[in-house]
Structure 1
Amino acid sequence: MDRIFINGKVATIDSKNSFAEAVAVENGKIAKVGSKEEVLELKNDKTEVIDLEGKLLLPGFNDSHMHLLMYSYHLQNVNLVGTTSIDNIIERTKNFIKERNIASGKWILGIGWNQDYFTEGEKVFPTKYDLDKISTEHPIVFIRACYHIVIANSKAMELAGITKDSPQIEGGKFDLDENGEPIGIFREKAQGLITSHIPEPTVEEIKEMLIEGMENANKCGLTSVQTDDFEAIPGKNYENIIKAYKELNEEGKINLRIYEQCLLPSMERLKGFLDRGYRTGYGDDFFKIGPLKLLGDGSLGARTAALTKPYADCPETCGIPVFTQEEIDELVEMAHNNDMQIAVHCIGNKAMYMVFEAMEKALTKNPKEDHRYGIVHCQITDKYLLNKFKELNAVAYIQPIFLDYDWHIAESRIGSELLETCYNWRTLLHSGVHIACGSDAPVESFDVLNGIYEAVTSKDLTGKPEGGWKPDQTLTVEEAVYGFTMGGAYTSFEENVKGSIEEGKLADMVVLSRNIFEIPEDEIKDIEVEMTIFNGNIVYEK
C-alpha cells in the first residue's frame, strides 16, 4: 500500500453521504475506506502513514468551467484586478513596463479591470486615448474582467489595420466617436480584430504557463478542471495546446485532470477538429477531450449578454447574440451527430432560448438519451427556461462566485421582475436538474471555498448584503460540496471513477483546516486547504 490516511473525518460524498476515518491508496486509486483499524491492516513496510489529526478529508474539488490556460497566460501579464480608476490602470502599466524594461514594439497585455469597481473618477471604459498615455511605442491591449471586451491603444490598432474605414463584423462591434473614428473599444467577436495580431506562444511556453497555473489550482484543493483553452492565447492553435497537455502528461507533470471544453466557434474549425479524429472522451484519466464549447452571448457587466428585452439601464441595447439561429443550429447538429457533447455559454435569456431550440432540433432528428448537454452560466432565466432544463435533461453549469459582483448590478441591468427567476440554483436542483459548480477563472478566482461560501450564503466576500441576496435560492453546504465534486464528475461522464471517496475510484482528495459541515456558514470562506492529494500523491501541503 502506497499511503494510508488515518484519524480523519472522511466525507465520502457517496450515495449515502457516509463518513469514515481512514483511507488507503495504491497505484493512484483508493484501495480501502473504513475504520483506522481496518485500513491499517493493509500497511506494509513501504507504506507512508499520514495522520490527519481529526481534519476533514473530501474528494478533490472539480471546477466544472474555467479557463486554465488563459489564467496561466495572464500570470505573465499586467494584473489589473483591483484597479480603482483609469489613472490607476495607467500608473500600474507604466510601472510594469519600467520594472521589466520592456522594449519598444513589444506587446503589453493587461487583464482584470472592471469599471464598475472604480472608486475614483467616472465608471467608464478606458479608450485608446487613455492607453496612449501609457505608451505609443508599445502595442497595448487590456481585457475586461469578463473577457468580452478589449481596449486597444493607437499602436495596437495601427498594427491590426483598424481605421475609420474598417467594416464592423457580425456578432461584435467596435465603438466609434462622433466623427466615425474607432476609440479602441472592441466587443465580442470584434475582439479578434485586435487579439489575432498578438504573437503566439510556443508549445514549451504553453507548458511552462500551465505548470504554474496547475500548481496554483492545487493550492485551492482542485484536482480536476473542465477548461476552455482553445482560443485562450494568441494563435488559437488547438493542436499546440493539445500537444502541450500531452507532453506534460508523458513527462509526469500534470497535477490536474483536464476535461477540455473545446471552443470551436465556426463550422470550419469544428469540421477540421472532427476530421482529425477528436471526439468527446478521446484521451485518458489525465487529459481528455470534453464537449464542443460555444459562446452564445457576452456578459452582464458589459451589457453584451443577449436578452429578449432591452436592458433596464440601457434601453438602446438587448445585448449581442454571437450567432444567428441558423448558425447555432448547424454547429449543435454537427457536434450532436459526431459524438461531441455540447456546452454553451449563455448568460442572457435570449441566448438560452436560441441554444435550447438548437439542442431540441438536434435531439428530435437524432434522439440521444444520456447526452449531458449543458448551459454554462445560465444566469438570466425565466420560468420557461427553468422548465426547459428539466425537459431537455440539460446540465446547469453554475458559478456561485459570480454573486460577488452580480448582486451589485443585476437588478439595475434587467429589472426586479425578471430578477425573480434568475440565479435560481435551488429551483433547478430541486426540480431534478443536474448542477455542476465552477468559477469561470480567471474571470473570478477559482478558490473553491469562496464559491461554496457564496452558494450557501448568497453573500459577497465582504458579507453583504445582510441576510443574503437571494436567500430562497441558496444551496445547502452538502449540495454545494456535491456541486464541486460529484456534480463536476457527472458532467464529464466520470461519476463512476471520481468525485467521491470510494474503493476503486481515483485517489484525488483534499484536506481542509476546519469541518465545513459543522462551522457557521459565514466562516466557510475562511477555511484553508491543508493538503491536496492527486492520483494518490501529495501535490500541495500547507
Structure 2
Amino acid sequence: MDKIILNGKIATMVSKYISWAEAIAIKDKKIAKVGTNEEVLDLKSDNTEIIDLKGKTVLPGFNDSHMHLLSYGYSCRAVNLNGTESIDGIVERIKDFIKDKNIKKGKWIVGRGWNDDYFKDEKTFPTRYDLDRVSTEHPIAIIRACGHIQIANSKALELAGITKDTPQIEGGKFDLDENREPTGIFREKAIELLTSQIPEPTVEDIKEMLLEGIEDANSCGITSIQTDDFEAIPGNNFHNILKAYRELEEEGKLSLRIYEQCLLPSMDRINSFLNSGYRTGWGNEYFRIGPLKLLGDGSLGARTAALTQPYADCPDTRGIPVFTQEEIDELVEVAHNNDMQVAVHCIGDKAMYMTFEAIEKALNKSPREDHRHGIVHCQITDEYLLNKFKELNAVAYIQPIFLDYDWKIVKDRVGEKLEKTSYNWKTLLDSGVHIACGSDAPVESFNVLNGIYEAVTRKDLKGNPEGGWMPEQKLTVEEAVYGFTKAGAYTSFEEDIKGSIEEGKLADIVVLSKNIFEIPEDEIKNIEVEMTIFDGEIVYEK
C-alpha cells in the first residue's frame, strides 16, 4: 500500500444514511480498502506511509457543483470591492488600488464585489460620474457581486464607443439618463459591449489564475468542481481556456477534478465547439467536458432575474430573459441531439418556465432516459415548477450560501406568496429530485462548511433569523454533506468513480477538525479543514 489512514471517524457517504469506518488504504491513487484499523493494517508494507488521524472526521473530497474557477482567479487580480458600504467607499478603494499598484494611465482597472443592498445610505448603483471621480484617464469597469450589472466610467465608454446613439443589445441593456446619455450602467448581455474592449489574458495568465483558485479550493477541502469558465475573462476564447487546463494537467498541477460547464450562448459558439469534437464526457478523470451552460436570466439582487409577474418592490420591471423562447429551444435541442448535457442558469420563475419548456420539447422529439439536464440556482419557484423538476427528472443545482443574503430580500422582491414556494430544497429532495450543492464562487465564498451550515440552519453566518428562514425547508446534515459529495458526482455522471469512500474509487478525501454529524448545527460553520487529499496525496494541510 502507498498510504494507510488510521484512527479516523470515516463517513463513507455511500448513501444519505451514514455508514462508518476506521481506516483507509490507498494504492495507485485509488482507495484499495475501507474497514477497521486491523483490517487495513494487514495490508501495510515496508514503504507504506501511515497517517494517524487521532479520531478526526473524514469525508469524501468536497464537490462544488457550480462555480466559476477562472472568474475567481481573475477577480483575485481585480479591485476587491466586497464589503464596501457606499459609493464613496468604492471610489476610495479603487483610488488606493491604482496608487498601491502604480497602474499607468490608460491601463484598464477592473473591480468586483460591490452590492448596493449593503450600502448604509442610499442603495443605488454607482454611475460613470462616480467612477470619473477616481480617474478619467484609466478606463474603469466594476461588476456587481452577482455578476449581472457592470458600471463603466467615461474613459471606458469612450474606448468601447458607447454613446446615446449606440443601439441597445437584445438580452441586456445599458441605462440612459434624462438627456439620453449613457449613465455607465450595463445589464446582462450589454456587459459584453465593455468586456470586449478589455485586453485578453494569455494562456500563461489563465494558468496562473486557475492555480490560485485551485490552491484556495483545496484549502476548503474541495477536490472536484463543476465550473463555468468560457466567458469568465475578456476574449471569451474557449480554445485558450481548454489549452490552459490541458497544460496544467500535463504538468501535474491539477489538484482539482474539473467538469467544465460550457457557456456557449449562441448557435455560432456551440456549433464551433461541437465541430471541434467536444461532447459531454470528453476528457478524463482530471478534466472533462460537462454540459452546455446557458444563462437564462440575471440575478434577484439586481432585479434582472426574469419573473412572470412584476417585481413587488419595482413594478416597472419583470427582469431580463436573456433568450427568446425560440432561441433557447434551438440551443437546448442542438445540445441534446449532440449528446450534450444541459445546465441553465435560472433564478426567476419566468426563466425556469422557458427552460423547462425547451427541455421538454427536446425530450419529446428525442427521448433520453438518463439525460441529467438541470437548472442552476432554481431559486424563485411555484408549485408547478417544483413538480416539473420531478416530472422531467431534472437536476437542481443549489447554492445554500445564497441564503446569507437572499433571505433578507426575497419577500421584498417577489412578494409573500411566491416567497413561500421559493428556495424549497427540502420539498425538492423529498419528492425524489437530485439536488447537488455548490457556491457560485466568486459570487459567494466556496467555503463548503459555510454552505452546509446555511443548508442545515437556514440562517446567515451571523445567526439570523432566529430559528431559520422557512425552517421547514432545512436539510439534515447528512443530506447537505451528500449534496456536496456523492450528489455532485452524480451530476457529472461520475458517481461510479468518486463522491464516496469506497474500494476502487479515487482517493480524494477531506479531514475535518470536528465531527460534523455530532456537534450542534450552529457550530458547523466553525469547523476547519485539517487536510485535503487528492489522488492519494496531501494537497493541503492546516
Shift of the alpha carbon at 1:381?
A: 0.3
Q: Secondary structure at the match of 1:402?
A: helix
1:411 matched residue in structure 2: 411
2:396 matched residue in structure 1: 396
One-letter amino acid of the structure 2 residue matched with residue 20 of structure 1: A
1:19 matched residue in structure 2: 20
2:423 matched residue in structure 1: 423
2:118 matched residue in structure 1: 117
One-letter amino acid of the structure 2 residue matched with residue 250 of structure 1: E
Describe the superposition over 1:43-68 as per-residue Cα deviations: whole angstroms up to 9, x where unpaired.
Answer: 11111100001000000000000000
Q: In the aligned structure 2, how far is the partner of 1:521 from the partner of 1:17? A: 17
TM-score scaled to structure 1, two decimals? 0.99
One-letter amino acid of the structure 1 residue matched with residue 192 of structure 2: G
Aligned: 1:72 with 2:82: no
Q: In the aligned structure 1, how far is the partner of 2:206 from the partner of 2:43? A: 41
Describe the superposition over 1:441-481 as per-residue Cα deviations: whole angstroms up to 9, x where unpaired.
Answer: 00000000000000000000000000101101010000000
Shift of the alpha carbon at 1:207?
A: 0.5
Aligned: 1:304 with 2:342: no
Q: Secondary structure at the match of 2:71?
A: helix
2:355 matched residue in structure 1: 355
Describe the superposition over 1:13-37 as per-residue Cα deviations: whole angstroms up to 9, x where unpaired.
Answer: 0135310000011111000000001
Q: In the aligned structure 2, how far is the partner of 1:321 from the partner of 1:518? A: 44
Describe the superposition over 1:352-387 as per-residue Cα deviations: whole angstroms up to 9, x where unpaired.
Answer: 000000000000000000000000000000000000
One-letter amino acid of the structure 2 residue matched with residue 70 of structure 1: S
Identity %: 77
Moved runs in structure 1, 4+ residues, more than 2 A? none
Aligned: 1:38 with 2:36: no
Q: In the aligned structure 2, how far is the partner of 1:343 from the partner of 1:138? A: 37
2:62 matched residue in structure 1: 61
Describe the superposition over 1:235-264 as per-residue Cα deviations: whole angstroms up to 9, x where unpaired.
Answer: 000000000000000000001000000000
Q: In the aligned structure 2, how far is the partner of 1:176 from the partner of 1:163? A: 10
Q: In the aligned structure 1, how far is the partner of 2:246 from the partner of 2:529? A: 28
Q: In the aligned structure 2, how far is the partner of 1:77 from the partner of 1:349? A: 33
TM-score scaled to structure 2, two decimals? 0.99
Describe the superposition over 1:259-288 as per-residue Cα deviations: whole angstroms up to 9, x where unpaired.
Answer: 000000000000000000000000000000
Shift of the alpha carbon at 1:201?
A: 0.4
2:91 matched residue in structure 1: 90
2:288 matched residue in structure 1: 288
2:256 matched residue in structure 1: 256
Q: In the aligned structure 2, how far is the partner of 1:132 from the partner of 1:43? A: 67
Q: In the aligned structure 2, how far is the partner of 1:242 from the partner of 1:470? A: 42
Count matched residues.
Answer: 541
Within a 5 Å distance, the mapping from 1:118-137 to structure 2 comes to: 118-119=119-120, 121-137=121-137
1:315 matched residue in structure 2: 315
Q: Secondary structure at the match of 2:59?
A: strand
Segments of structure 1 that go 5 or more residues without pairing to the other structure are none
Q: Secondary structure at the match of 1:211?
A: helix
Q: In the aligned structure 1, how far is the partner of 2:303 from the partner of 2:493? A: 34
1:440 matched residue in structure 2: 440
2:159 matched residue in structure 1: 159
Within a 5 Å distance, the mapping from 1:489-508 to structure 2 comes to: 489-508=489-508
1:459 matched residue in structure 2: 459
Shift of the alpha carbon at 1:73?
A: 0.8
1:372 matched residue in structure 2: 372
Q: Secondary structure at the match of 1:193?
A: helix
Q: Secondary structure at the match of 1:259?
A: strand
1:197 matched residue in structure 2: 197
Q: In the aligned structure 2, how far is the partner of 1:289 from the partner of 1:430? A: 30
One-letter amino acid of the structure 1 residue matched with residue 72 of structure 2: Y
Q: In the aligned structure 1, how far is the partner of 2:367 from the partner of 2:252? A: 40
Shift of the alpha carbon at 1:167?
A: 0.7
One-letter amino acid of the structure 2 residue matched with residue 514 of structure 1: K
Within a 5 Å distance, the mapping from 1:171-250 to structure 2 comes to: 171-250=171-250
RMSD (Å), alpha carbons = 0.5
1:532 matched residue in structure 2: 532
One-letter amino acid of the structure 2 residue matched with residue 409 of structure 1: I
2:103 matched residue in structure 1: 102
Q: In the aligned structure 2, how far is the partner of 1:252 from the partner of 1:359? A: 38
Q: In the aligned structure 2, how far is the partner of 1:325 from the partner of 1:212? A: 39
